[in-house]
């Protein structure tokens, strides 16, 4: 039973447009959410995160939105660039715990 779900395996976007990657979760005990980005032949790297007490966190071109009532979060990339083409993993943590639970990932293609 996947606690963190990314239902879109892939997404294709034109350069300069907005990319929206979605993530749903089932465990209401999660209190911290993270996005990791992975290029081929590299390990995932941390991108951006949000605490459950917030509904938005912004870092440059990247914004994460959290809707706790819907148990849904999204990552917005504006404007999208070809270098953003990668696999994006949504992840969640329970405060005080050791585990980070990951979704299946969404592969983003940004076309020039």
Partner 1 sequence: DVKVTQSSRYLVKRTGEKVFLECVQDMDHENMFWYRQDPGLGLRLIYFSYDVKMKEKGDIPEGYSVSREKKERFSLILESASTNQTSMYLCASSFPLQGAHEKLFFGSGTQLSVL
CB-based contacts of 48, cutoff 8 Å, min separation 6: 34, 35, 57, 59, 62, 63, 64, 75
Instruction: Give least dist CB 49 to partner 1, A.
Output: 7
CB of 79 to partner 1, least distance (A): 26
Span 48-87, contacts to partner 1 by CB under 8 A? 49, 51
Residue 76 to residue 9: CA distance in whole angstroms: 16
Placement of tokens 């994006």 in the chain: 88
Residues that bind partner 1 (CB under 8 A): 2, 4, 6, 9, 31-32, 34, 36, 41-46, 49, 51, 89, 93-96, 98-105
């Amino acid at each position: 039973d996947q606690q963190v779900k990314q239902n879109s395996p892939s997404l294709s976007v034109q350069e300069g447009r907005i990319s929206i990657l979605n993530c749903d979760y089932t465990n209401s005990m999660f209190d911290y959410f993270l996005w990791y980005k992975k290029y081929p032949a590299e390990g995932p790297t941390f991108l951006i995160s949000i605490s459950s007490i917030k509904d938005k966190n912004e870092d440059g071109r990247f914004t994460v939105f959290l809707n706790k009532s819907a148990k849904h979060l999204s990552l917005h990339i504006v404007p999208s660039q070809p270098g953003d083409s990668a696999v994006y993993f949504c992840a969640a943590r329970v405060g005080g715990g050791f585990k980070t639970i990951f979704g299946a990932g969404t592969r983003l293609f940004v076309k020039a």
